[in-house]
Amino acid sequence: MSEAWQMLLQDTLSRSSFLSLQGVEAQSLDQPVVVAGHTWCHLASVRFHIWVRGEKPINIDVNNELLACGTLSLNQDMDVIDTMIEKGMVMMWDYIATVYQEVVPGNHISAIRNSGVTFCADWDYLLMDLKCAVHETAYDRYHSWYESSP
């Protein structure tokens, strides 16, 4: 019998009891959730691919100026993602201004076009949510294992 089997099959553990069995180093997102020698969940990073649609439909097989890739991990590499999302928002704002001008001809749309678009992603907050999701997934996997054990 494995260490996990011997230790965890006794009585079902609450979420907090289960998660308290992992080491302090596992509190970091880049570390797996290991309890009783078994890895229950591990998420090292999240890779983002952001496409902005231009005049033509998006071709996901082409790497061009309408594609940005970034990695969200403890060492964030998300500047290109922020830039591409902002680019998409500017394009969308321009489109809204164009539609407005078609619907209400003769009105000035410079105020709409010049109002600016700001995108401020809180990647640290998303990292915290991902850490919680990893812990939830680890516990859910443990609980499913426990419920299916003889």
DSSP letter string over 16-79?
HHHHHTS-GGGGSTTS-EEETTEEEE----EEEEEE---SS---TT--STTEEEEEESSS-B-H
Number of domains in the chain: 1
What's the confidence (pLDDT) of residue 26? 61
Kindly give the confidence (pLDDT) of every residue in the chain, 150 residues in length, as a single tens digit, with 9 standing for 90 and above. Answer: 677 777 777 788 889 888 888 876 666 777 889 888 888 999 988 999 999 888 888 888 888 888 899 988 877 788 999 989 988 888 888 888 888 888 877 777 777 777 777 778 889 899 889 989 999 999 999 999 888 877
What's the confidence (pLDDT) of residue 91? 86
User: 33-35 and 38-41: which strand pairing?
Assistant: antiparallel
Could you list the residue range(s) of the whole structural domain that residue 14 is in? 3-78+121-148
Q: Is residue 113 part of a domain?
A: no
What's the confidence (pLDDT) of residue 37? 83
The pTM of this model reads 0.72
Q: Is residue 52 part of a domain?
A: yes
Distances (CA, A) of 79 to 11, 43, 52, 70, 86: 47, 21, 15, 8, 11
Q: CA gyration radius for the chain? A: 24
